[in-house]
């Protein structure tokens, strides 16, 4: 899942080397923390959060086969 998130975000940003994805997992959920360069934050979020919502939709659909709830948090 980390590779999927990186593959989606890499073409959107100017500083792809600053992309970091961390996963925190417990018994019922997996939370992925996506961090990008501060200058790229607007590109990843998009107008009115549309790009962020689209990224979350793809990640949630790809993870639907897992038996845990997925969350994606975007920050610096």
In this prediction the pTM is 0.88
Cα(52)–Cα(8) distance, integer angstroms: 11
Residue 68 has a pLDDT of 87
CB–CB of 30/71 below 8 Å? yes
Does residue 67 have a pLDDT over 90?
no
Residue 3 has a pLDDT of 94
């Amino acid at each position: 899942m980390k590779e999927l998130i990186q593959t989606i975000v890499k073409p959107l940003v100017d500083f792809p080397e600053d992309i970091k994805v961390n996963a925190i997992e417990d018994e019922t959920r997996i939370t992925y923390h996506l961090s990008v360069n501060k200058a790229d934050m607007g590109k990843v979020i998009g107008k009115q959060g549309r790009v962020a919502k689209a990224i979350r939709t793809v990640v949630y659909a790809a993870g639907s086969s897992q038996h845990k709830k997925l969350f994606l948090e975007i920050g610096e």
